[in-house]
Amino acid sequence: MHTDVTSLLFEAANLLVVGMVVVFLFLSLLIGAVTGIAWLCAKFPQEDVTLQATLETKSGTSLVHQGEIPQPVITAIAAAIRRYRSQR
């Protein structure tokens, strides 16, 4: 029985070491990838991307830029907010 326990403990220690090495290598690779991406983003910066409205009028101009949102949309949003607040 003594050899069985010893071999089981050796196997458990071996599994522990292999698992820790795999986790360490994976995290090191992840840190390297994030650092590389951060370096690339700093080296090649993009222009600021502004959020554009998806609602457009027939003329193709954005409703947000014109400052007008259709009344049914405002009513629907207000009703949704009221219903959400009443559920709490």
CA-based Rg of the chain, rounded to a whole angstrom?
A: 29
> d(Cα 55, Cα 41) in Å, to the nearest integer?
31
Range in 1-10, 27-36, 49-58, 61-70 the model is least confident about: 49-58
User: What residue ranges do the domains of the chain occupy?
Assistant: 1-49, 50-88
**27 has a pLDDT exceeding 50:** yes
> d(Cα 82, Cα 73) in Å, to the nearest integer?
14
> d(Cα 77, Cα 75) in Å, to the nearest integer?
5
> d(Cα 2, Cα 10) in Å, to the nearest integer?
12
Give pLDDT, residue 70. Answer: 86
Strand partners, 62: 56
Q: Quote the tokens at residue 20.
A: 């820790």
Q: Whole-model pTM above 0.85?
A: no
pLDDT tens sequence across 57-66: 445 555 555 5
